[in-house]
Amino acid sequence: MANIIESKNLDTASLLEINFGPQHPSTHGVFRMVIQLEGEKICGLKPVFGYLHRNHEQIAENLPYAAIMPYTDRLDYVNALANNFGYALTIEKLAGLEVPERAEYIRVIMAELARIVNHITVIGFMLNDLGAFFTPLLYAFRERERILDLFEEITGSRLMNNYFRFGGVKRDLTNENLAAIQKIVSKFPAFLKEFEALLTKNEILCMRCQNIGILPAGVATNAGITGPVLRASGVNYDIRKVDGYSIYNRFDFKIPLGEKGDVYDRFYIRVLEIRESLKILDQALSKIPQGEILNKKALPFIKMPRNFKPPVGEAYGRVESPKGELGFYVVSDGTPQPWRYHVRAPSLINLTVLEEMCLGQKIADAIIILGSIDIVLGETDR
């Protein structure tokens, strides 16, 4: 692109401009980068968005509030439950609904299971991008299938769960479900140990990932980066602790922080976060009370969703999704459809620093840097 060349005063004779086109084997989806190369070194990188722009915000302006819930599943389609959580939180803020105790515990359990699913998928794909074609991914997907079986039993669907409702959740957890979750929680550390033994001190991984794509903490804060990418650069900001939404302030868990902010830190911090999620799950399973799962005040609206008219106002609710801060901004005008609905997508904002991290690196490193930021196109393009 001519403007990259002019703005950087590069010597045009030795430059090669390639298209990391919308269709490429690395499965992050339809994402395109226009890269200027000098030999194998990257001199300029411009991402192009919009190949999966599905007009979620426009569609939501014509639907009743309850009907938007299945569409939020399809935003971050790797772990649908985190998106449901954010949206339910925002509408409860808008309408002033409270959530019963048991439902809060169930929400935390499902959200942490979704976090484990997401992190294990990301680690599998990152190792796939590094060249370990398919073996770590197969192992990661084996664990993922166990958790997806559980989702299917509880919510009815493997991927697009549509489980949360305003004021609670849709279906209760039976004792068999709780026993199944306990089994997964007790067996997972063994799998993580196996994974780590093979990979964490692996020479190829270390040489290819350490000191690549360093992101300084000041740049990260200013550029609005959130999630594991921010924490790998050393900034202690986790919305579960800062906002303490839902009942997260009752659980005892640590926030792993990285030191250098390179690709290796971002990979390892996700392994540590899986461990913390397992701790939260243990505590939640032991303390879950009996009770109802849906606020009685919300029942009439659930039975006739087209009548749900929250009061005029606006609300911004945010959750710590496994990719960063997922925020929903909803403006209501007293009719059953929202006036304005906006999703603050972490994947889009985290890509602000992609060019900076990739400059000066080799072209093969651009792929693993992109993989370590962990984007999903349904969220980036909405």
Partner 1 sequence: MAYTKNKSEVDETLRADLAKKGVIWTSLDFLYNWGRRSSIWPMQFGLACCAFEMIAAACARYDIARFGAELFRASPRQADLMIISGTVTKKMAPQVVRLFNQMPEPKYVLTMGACAISGGPFIDGYNVLRGIDRYIPVDVHLPGCPPRPEALLHGLMVLQKKIASQEIQKAAWYQKGLKREFPIPELGPNGLIPKFNPEVWQPAKRNPRKEHYGQTILVGKKQKAPDLELVVAAKSATPGAAA
Partner 2 sequence: MNIPIESVKKELETRLPDVKLRLIRDSILIENPEDLLRVALFLKESPVFLLDYLSSVTGADYLTFLESVYHLYSMAKKQGPVVLRVRVTKNNAKIPSLAPVYRSAELQEREAFDTFGIVYEGHPDPRRLFMWEEFQGYPLRKDYEQEDADILETADIAWLEARGIKIPDEMKEKAKALQAAGQRAVAEKPEKPRN
Q: For binding to partner 1 (CB under 8 A), which residues are involved? A: 21-25, 27, 29-30, 50-56, 58-59, 61-63, 70-71, 74, 77-78, 89, 92-93, 96-99, 137-138, 141-142, 145, 158-160, 243-246, 311-314, 317, 331-335, 337, 339, 377-378
User: Does position 349 bind partner 2 by CB under 8 A?
Assistant: yes
Cβ–Cβ under 8 Å, residues 35 and 23: no
Query: How far is residue 244's CA from residue 319's CA, in Å, rounded to a whole number?
Result: 10
User: Does position 112 bind partner 2 by CB under 8 A?
Assistant: no
User: Does position 348 bind partner 2 by CB under 8 A?
Assistant: yes
Query: How far is residue 80's CA from residue 322's CA, in Å, rounded to a whole number?
Result: 11
Query: How far is residue 226's CA from residue 69's CA, in Å, rounded to a whole number?
Result: 24
Site for partner 2 in 202-221 (CB under 8 A): 219, 221
User: Does position 8 bind partner 2 by CB under 8 A?
Assistant: no
Number of residues in contact with partner 2, rule: CB under 8 A? 37
- Parallel, antiparallel, or unpaired: how do β-strands 168-169 and 41-48 relate? unpaired
By CB under 8 A, name the one of 53, 142, 287, 306 that touches partner 2: 53
> Edge-to-edge strands of the sheet including 41-48?
15-20, 32-38, 41-48
Residue 61 in tokens = 């302006």
Residue placing its CB nearer to partner 1 in the complex, 125 or 264: 125
DSSP-assigned letters across all residues of 309-331: -PPSEEEEEEEEETTEEEEEEEE
**If contact means CB under 5 to 8 A according to the sort of partner, which of partner 2, partner 1, none does residue 325 touch?**
partner 2
User: Does position 222 bind partner 2 by CB under 8 A?
Assistant: yes
Binding marks (x or -) toward partner 2, 277..316, rule CB under 8 A?
------------------------------------xx-x
Positive/negative CA dihedral, 150, 140, 280, 343: negative
Alpha helices in the chain (DSSP H): 2-8, 56-60, 65-73, 80-95, 101-130, 135-155, 175-199, 203-209, 217-222, 228-232, 239-242, 263-287, 299-303, 346-350, 354-358, 363-373, 377-380
Site for partner 2 in 313-332 (CB under 8 A): 313-314, 316, 318, 325, 327, 329, 331
By CB under 8 A, name the one of 235, 274, 298, 377 that touches partner 2: 235
Residue 180 in tokens = 């199944």
**If contact means CB under 5 to 8 A according to the sort of partner, which of partner 2, partner 1, none does residue 219 touch?**
partner 2
User: Does position 50 bind partner 2 by CB under 8 A?
Assistant: yes
**If contact means CB under 5 to 8 A according to the sort of partner, which of partner 1, partner 2, none does residue 224 touch?**
partner 2
Nearest to 76, CA basis, from 61, 86, 91, 66: 86
Give residues in contact with partner 2 (CB under 8 A).
49-50, 53, 55, 57-58, 219, 221-225, 235, 237, 242, 313-314, 316, 318, 325, 327, 329, 331, 333-335, 337, 339-340, 342, 344, 348-349, 351-353, 381
